[in-house]
Amino acid sequence: DVKVTQSSRYLVKRTGEKVFLECVQDMDHENMFWYRQDPGLGLRLIYFSYDVKMKEKGDIPEGYSVSREKKERFSLILESASTNQTSMYLCASTHRSYGRRNQPQHFGDGTRLSIL
């Protein structure tokens, strides 16, 4: 089974702090994704990466950055945390798609982040 592991289940930080969320997958997936989940809004894509050191902005990248130094690890960085970034953050991964749009994504258990 695919295992996507997020380093923290719960995290509490203060406004203005630099926050790192870590995600590791063990299936040699090329693609990794970061989402935030808010009630009534579903999942919104923040950033994704299709290879080591390669990244693309998603739908809501403002206030976030990412890092992918190794294939199995994808980090989400809140440069200066703000209260409106309090949310559930989900990491996902999948193999490279070669034109067929049928790849499901495999998710971690999420990190519930509170910014005080």
Partner 1 sequence: GNSVTQMEGPVTLSEEAFLTINCTYTATGYPSLFWYVQYPGEGLQLLLKATKADDKGSNKGFEATYRKETTSFHLEKGSVQVSDSAVYFCALSGNIIQGAQKLVFGQGTRLTINP
Residues that bind partner 1 (CB under 8 A): 4, 30-31, 33, 40-43, 45, 48-51, 54, 56, 58, 90, 92, 94, 96-110
Q: Which two tokens stand for residue 106?
A: 């495999």
What is the closest distance, in whole angstroms, from the C-beta atom of residue 80 to partner 1 in the complex? 27
- Please, which residue, 51 or 79, has the CB nearer to partner 1? 51
For residue 83, the 8-state DSSP code is G
What is the closest distance, in whole angstroms, from the C-beta atom of residue 71 to partner 1 in the complex? 14
What is the closest distance, in whole angstroms, from the C-beta atom of residue 62 to partner 1 in the complex? 18
CA distances from 15 to 59, 63, 81, 95, 114 (A): 23, 13, 5, 36, 10
- Please, which residue, 1 or 69, has the CB nearer to partner 1? 1
Q: Which two tokens stand for residue 50?
A: 């299709």
- Please, which residue, 80 or 89, has the CB nearer to partner 1? 89
38: Cα within 13 Å, side-chain hemisphere: 11
